[in-house]
Every structure is written in C-alpha cells, then in structure tokens.
A and B are shown apart, each in its own frame.
Chain A
Amino acid sequence: MSDTGTVGQGITVTKTGEQGAFGGELLTINFGPHHPSTHGVLRLIVDLDGEQVRRLKPVIGYLHTGIEKQAEALRWQQVVVVTDRHDYLSPPINNLAYALAVEKLLGVEVPPRASALRVIMSELTRIASHLVWLGTSGIELGASTMLMYCFRERDTILDMNEEISGFRMHTSYIRPGGVMADATPRFLEMLDRFIDKMPSNVDEYEALLTMNPIFRSRTIGIGRLPAEDAKVLGATGPMLRGSGVAWDLRKTMPYSGYEKYDFEVATSDLCDCYGRYLVRIKEMREAVKILRQALDRLPDGPVNIDDRKVLPPPREELETSMEAVIHHFKLFTEGYSVPAGDAYVAVESGRGENGCYVVSDGTHKPRRVKFRSASFVNLQPLERMALNHMVADMVAIIGTADTVLGDVDR
C-alpha cells in the first residue's frame, strides 16, 4: 500500500496511510544520513503532516569509531590521543576531562601554571567551537557570509594550537600530569593580540545576525524547550542555559581553578533557538574575559608534575643519569600503572557536560573509559523541540542543538 519515491539527494518519502489534520496523508520522510543540514551524518525519520513534523526519530551511529573499545587496548598515556577525536571540535576539553579523571585516580594535582594553560586552551577551544557552530548555522539560515567571518577567527585559534602543540586540530596538548609543553613567547603574543581583537569581532557577528529580521524570524519562538523539560531530559550546556537555567560546571562544580576567574554564566529566558544563539554569543565574550585574566595572571613555574613514575624525565637528564634512562625505558615500554578504583570528572565543553569515567584495575591499561558526551544527551530532546514545527525550522533546531556527530557516536 505504501509507495516510496525519492525527492532529491538523501531524502526518500513513504506514505503511511494515516490521515493528517490538513486533509492529506502523513508522509514518512527519511532525512540523511548524508544531508548538509544535519551537521555530519545524522539520519532523521520524520513523519510529516503537510510540512509539519508529527513524529521524529533520530538514527545515530553512522560515525561510530569504537573509541571506548580502542582506549581499553591502549596504555594510560596513549588514550589521550583517542580522546581528541570524539568531539573533534573541542579536543583540548576532551583531553582535560580524561586527564583530570586519571589524575583523580593517581591522586596528583598539577602545578598552577599547567592549570592556567589548561584554562587558556579550554577557553580558546570553546570560542573555536562556537565559531564553527555560528558559521554553519548561519549558512543553514541563509546568512552565508557568517562562515567567512567565523572561520577567519577560528583560523587564528588553529594557528595558536599549532604554535603551542604543533598540531592544528587534534592537539593532545593536555595530558595526565600536566601539559605537553610550556607556552612559547610567540604563543603568548598571539594570544594577547587575539584577546584585544576578539571583542570587536564578536560585535561584527552580532551586527550581522542579532537584529537581522530574517534570522530573528527563523529563530525566535522556534524549538522551545522550557527549563523544567530541559532539566528532566538531561540537557546541558547552552541548551540548558538557553532555557534560563544557570548551570555551568565551571561555576557549579569548578575544576582547574575556574573558581579564581571572574566571569558571568550566560543565560537566556527565551528557551528557543534565538535564546541559545544569545547564550553562545555571550559565552564567547565571557571566554575572552577569562583569557585576559588567565594571561595577565599566568603564574611561573613548571607545567608538569615532578613524578618520574608518570611523566618521562627531561631529555638532558638521559645523558647523565642512569635512573632517568630506566624511568624513560619503563614509561615507553610498559607505561605507568594507575591505582585500582574508578573516577568520574565532568568538564564544561562548548556543547555541555563532557565527562570522562575511568575504571582502573591497577594495571597499565584502563579497564574501561566511558565518555559522557553532551551531544549524545542533547540530541534526545530533538523530537520534543521539533514537534509541530515546519521542516525548515527543524533544520534551525538541529543547528542550535549544536551536536557534533563524532561526539554522539564516539
């Protein structure tokens, strides 16, 4: 009875036989997984009445890479490299969650300079991640110039990543025990220039979108998620704060010394796509404030813990000290062992709570590494938000949920 046809790339249509409110029949539309508006490979099975969404089922897993399985086969220090790759828009923040969890089990605390550098990298990443979101969401809603502006600044941040870690995207910069290397003077100069320039760039983005009538009519009142629903559904990050709940792990459960920085938690009571947009814009401004404080108060000192059982000795020592050679050899053949137990650490990424749960059986490889990804949880309220909206609005809603499919599927 049902007949199926294809309209355009990646979309198939099936008649359901169910009667809709407008005299027509409900159609099941398959969106994706290869569809430009889904921010990666997300498949949506949507039941449409006319052009209104009546049912929506996200189908995920197209970007599953088995990162958690892979982590079990790697030594503790090697896992850092795979943490980079699940939420590929915020690698340093993923590194941080993992590093903090391992440090919690090891019972060590990193020196103040390492904490400050971790904060700097986290905030730069948050800005970069929001910029990608702003640029791609702009394109979906017809503001194609946004991408050019946003990627201009993102490229500056990637240059800084390259300067400090040697890698533009998957930095692996934050590691258990500290950070990869100290910041170079050139990095600090670049950062200083970036902090001075960024507020005027955010003004530029706002000039393009905040009062733009097309953007406003596409986002205001679209995808409403009331505060109570957002809390019950487990939403975190800008999804939760865009619904007026001032929950930010940097304030509510501080880590890496975030309690020492003066910044505001961005919230919006609009509970819609526009509210989530305002929250992210404000967060970029607040991130710049944190960066300025971190740079001005950057403490001197080491950037790694002084424990030869966890981190290798400096290169110079290898030439003169037999003990250093032994430590070096042990670390690069067997690795270090972490005391048995389990620990969970949650950090605030650009998307929400990106946590890491690690279980150790006392050996040199983790027994289990679980990434609690914000995108995976934030994607579940999609049906709740898109219900009875137009198909075109659904695209705006997926956009402002800001899910990274690598993070959803891990």
Chain B
Amino acid sequence: MTQVLERPVRPAAPTAAERTARRRAVLEWIAVHSLGVAAALFFVLPFVFVVLTSLMSDQQALTRDLIPRTWEWGNYAQVFDTPGFLTWWRNTLLYAGLGTVLTVVSSVPVAYALAKFRFRGRNLTLMLVVSMMMLPPQVVIIPMYLFWAKQLDLSGTLWPLIIPMAFGDAFSIFLLRQFLTTIPDEYLDAAKVDGCGELRTLLRVVLPMAKPGIAAVALFQFFYAWNDYFGPQIYASENPGAWTLSYGLESFKGAHHTDWNLTMAATVLVMAPVILVFFFAQKAFVEGVTLTGVKG
C-alpha cells in the first residue's frame, strides 16, 4: 500500500556516485556468491564422489570414471550382508546410546555445582576439568589398559569405554557449566523460597531450562562414541564381536581391498546416521560449538 502511495514521489535521478555504489554492490554480490559456490563445491564434492563410487560395479570403481555406468544399488545390500556388519551397528548403538545417557546423568550435577555453588576450590576444580578435557587419551592408556584388562578382565568388550562415562565427562561438564552459568540466579532463589532443596531445584527448575545445553552435550557425546577409533582399537580389537562401526570400517577395507565400491558404500552407511542426526538437531549442535568456543 505505502509503496503505491509513494510511487508518484519519484526520487531524483541517481547521481554518478550512487550509480557506482549500486554497481559495486551488485559486483560484490556476484563475487561473494561465486566464492560461496566454489567453497560449497569443495565441501560437497567429496561426498558426491563417495556416493557415486559406492554405486559403481567393482570393475568400474577401479577406473577413472566419475559417473556409474550401471547403478548398483545391490552394493548396499552386500555391505549389510557382510558378516559382522550388523553386530558393529549394535555395538556402536550400545556404546553411543548407553554412554550418552550415563554421561548426561553423571555430568549434570557436577556442572550445576560448578556453575551455581560457592565453595573453596571451585576455580581449581574447573581448571582440573579443563585439563582433563585437553588430555590426549593416549597419555594414561597404559595404566588404564592394565587396569581394565589385567585387573578386571574386561578386554575384548566395550565396557572399559562405557563404564567411565558414569563418572562425569570433562568436556560435557565444561559445556554444561558454561550453559548453566547463563541461567539467572533469581530462578534458583525463587525455587528455594518455595522450599525446594538443591536437588529439587536442579530437577524441577534448572533441568527444564537447560534442555538446549543437555541436547548439545548428548549430541557431542553420541558423535564422540560413534567416531571413536582409539578406544575400540585398544580394548575391543581382539574380539570382532565387540567392534564398533568406526573400527570395523577399516578392517572392512582390508577384507575388500580392491572393492572400492563396497568400501565406499560402507563409508556412506557409517556417515549417514551422523548427518541425519545433525539435520534433526542442527540448532542445538551449533549452539554447543559456540558455547565452548566463545563465551568464557
């Protein structure tokens, strides 16, 4: 409406300066978006080539061709029929699923205490949490392996990877703590005035408000377990019945050393769930990355 009314009042003819400014804006739009498309190709083409190869015949996958001559959807069925592949799926879901639940349950109270309680040694505790977060897992692997394998006789299983998650994960504690400090104290005080103890305050007031933070932690932990290669290599390598997808995928390549088509199909099947989960939970994920990175 306003546009119609305003139309008669035509602006004066653009000056030369305005014209160059507009032309520059158009040129900048073109430059930026061409760069964007170029970058998008760099990020997407590897996926495209992997998927295309996964649909080739084994003969064609060894050639320089980029597009399948015949579309071999059966490759995927063949991967699922590989002995062990479904076991790896089950193990990965166990490791990632149970591990994530344990991590969240054990990390939330710790993060809450670090965010909202005042006690001596709080800063020291937080610094130790960050140190644990930055510690390469290989640093303590020798005593840990001896502990799990020799004392508890649990090598050849995933339990040495799952059980520790019941005792707080440093990264999750840190991320959750960052999130919980953003919740105003007034909400907690109000709950206490209403007669809630700390535990009730945490469960009734803080947890509902912390859902995005918990979602981010759960996602990160799920992906961590899904992607973990070192852990299963150390504890599960001796028993193929305990392998996870990430660990089994490599040996899949070993068993089908010239069948790049099947290896790429297996690769797609390991990547796909992560990407699907991401699409459903994009917001929580990106929020988590920013939280751990920027806000101090």
A-B interaction: no
